[in-house]
């Protein structure tokens, strides 16, 4: 056959290729680009995988190191725990030994205190006198001048304190300073409280049992006084409250408890007054009641180092007689009167055991040398007030908010 018929076919195919060659070139270039990019991406992935593998190996190394350190720390902690347990066991044994020794020391201290109490009752303390001879001479002169008129006793009372027989803590109510007492001239059984050093509210309870079982001062009957008091030197005597009015001048008020009215008032005649006790500076005049009646314990600049005593007529509030005592004000906390004898109680600025260290008898039947050295039992602080009940022979004491009763052991005075 001739090849002529094939020419159109070849021509046509050649023509088609020549027409489509730019497209094919583009596709081939795109294919090459894709292959290049895939090849490039594969290299980056390999590099990334290599990097991540290196990082994982580093992390594994650190985890291994941390594991080793944790194991070492755990082992050291167990050893430390064993050491602490051993030391705590040793401390427990030492603690038990110290506790046993402290119990032994406490027993010895109690024995020594009992022996000291016994020695204190056997050996009296030195009387409270000033060592300055000129002041002593001046004091004696003043006493002689004021005692030219012999004191006439109202009763044949001749009792004096021998010791503190018992102590009973009834309650704790109110502030650190105050007064609680009964009517010292009547046997009606009522209890009266004056809380603080400057107030005007008197609290009344029917009996001591009613007071001890009460929930507080508000449970009692309240009596509003016409004026505020000053200090803690108040007394209740024959249905009347005697108290010092707060103000510039020392004014004694007599208040009728049944009628709730002021019966009488009087300016105390002493001038330039000082606190009667250095440990209770709020009290300038401390009123007291005994078998002989109403008394006032005070101090003035005229006799600034010592305590003075005055006998008061409870009906007219007149001063019947005055005395300068040898009892010093320094470290005195309170005082009271029994059968015409004033007993001054002393303590220290850092509260310790209160003690009667100075006495003064207006009838000159006893002196400091004759008086026993009486120590009060241990308590909480210092007495802010001590009120003697001649009917019961008890002391009503206020000590740092505690209401305390002291039962007294009495004996007869010895005439000199």
Rounded distance between C-alpha atoms, residue 193 and residue 177, angstroms? 11
The pLDDT confidence band at residue 152, using thresholds 50, 70 and 90, is: low
pLDDT at site 361: 93
- DSSP-H helix ranges across 123-217: 133-146, 208-213
Residue 231, C-beta contacts closer than 8 angstroms, at least 6 positions apart: 197, 244, 280, 282, 283, 284, 285, 286
Q: What Rg value do the Cα atoms of the chain yield, rounded?
A: 49
Rounded distance between C-alpha atoms, residue 82 and residue 102, angstroms? 30
pLDDT at site 25: 67
Strand pairing report for 261-267 and 273-274:
unpaired
- The predicted model gives 322-328 an average pLDDT of 93
Rounded distance between C-alpha atoms, residue 266 and residue 257, angstroms? 18
- Strand, helix or coil at 353? coil
The pLDDT confidence band at residue 39, using thresholds 50, 70 and 90, is: low
The pLDDT confidence band at residue 35, using thresholds 50, 70 and 90, is: low
Please check whether residue 312 is in contact with residue 319, taking contact to mean a CB–CB distance below 8 angstroms. yes
Residue 361, C-beta contacts closer than 8 angstroms, at least 6 positions apart: 340, 341, 367, 413
**CA within 13 Å, CB half, 323:** 22
pLDDT at site 5: 47
pLDDT at site 22: 63
pTM score: 0.66
Q: What is the average pLDDT value for the chain, to the nearest integer?
A: 82
- Strand, helix or coil at 10? helix
Please check whether residue 347 is in contact with residue 279, taking contact to mean a CB–CB distance below 8 angstroms. yes
Higher pLDDT, 49 or 264: 264
pLDDT at site 250: 84
- The predicted model gives 135-153 an average pLDDT of 51
pLDDT at site 142: 46
End-to-end CA distance of the chain: 186
pLDDT at position 19 over 50: no
pLDDT at position 66 over 50: yes
pLDDT at site 416: 40
């Amino acid at each position: 056959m001739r090849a002529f018929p094939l020419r159109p076919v070849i021509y046509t195919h050649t023509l088609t290729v020549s027409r489509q060659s730019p497209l094919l070139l583009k596709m081939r270039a795109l294919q090459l680009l894709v292959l290049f990019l895939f090849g490039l991406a594969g290299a980056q992935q390999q590099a990334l995988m290599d990097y991540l593998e290196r990082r994982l190996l580093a992390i594994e190394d650190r985890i291994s190191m941390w594991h080793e350190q944790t194991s070492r720390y755990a082992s050291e902690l167990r050893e430390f725990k064993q050491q602490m347990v051993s030391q705590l066991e040793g401390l427990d044994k030492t603690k038990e030994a110290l506790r046993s020794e402290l119990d032994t020391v406490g027993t010895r201290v109690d024995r020594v205190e009992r022996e000291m109490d016994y020695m204190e009752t056997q050996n009296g303390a030195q009387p409270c006198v000033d060592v300055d001879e000129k002041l002593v001479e001046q004091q004696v002169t003043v006493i002689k001048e004021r005692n030219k008129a012999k004191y006439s006793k109202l009763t044949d009372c001749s009792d004096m304190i021998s010791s503190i027989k018992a102590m009973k803590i009834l309650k704790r109510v109110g502030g650190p300073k105050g007064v609680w007492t009964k009517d010292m001239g009547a046997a009606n059984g009522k209890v009266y409280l004056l809380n603080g050093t400057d107030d005007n509210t008197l609290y009344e309870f029917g009996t001591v049992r009613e007071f001890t079982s009460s929930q507080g001062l508000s449970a009692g009957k309240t009596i509003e006084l016409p004026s505020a008091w000053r200090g803690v030197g108040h007394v209740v005597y024959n249905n009347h409250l005697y108290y010092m009015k707060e103000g510039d001048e020392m004014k004694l008020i007599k208040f009728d408890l049944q009628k709730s009215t002021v019966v009488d008032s009087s300016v105390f005649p002493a001038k330039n007054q000082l606190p009667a006790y250095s440990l209770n500076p709020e009290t300038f005049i401390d009123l007291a009641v005994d078998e002989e009646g109403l008394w006032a314990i005070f101090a003035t600049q005229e006799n600034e180092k010592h305590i003075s005593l005055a006998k008061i007529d409870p009906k007219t509030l007149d001063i019947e007689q005055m005395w300068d005592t040898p009892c010093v004000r320094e470290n005195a906390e309170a005082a009271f009167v029994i059968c015409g004898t004033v007993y001054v109680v002393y303590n220290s600025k850092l509260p310790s055991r209160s003690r009667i260290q100075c006495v003064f008898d207006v009838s000159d039947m006893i002196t400091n040398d004759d008086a026993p050295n009486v120590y009060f039992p241990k308590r909480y602080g210092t007495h802010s007030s001590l009120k003697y009940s001649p009917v019961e022979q008890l002391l009503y004491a206020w000590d740092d908010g505690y209401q305390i009763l002291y039962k007294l052991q009495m004996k007869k005075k010895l005439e000199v």
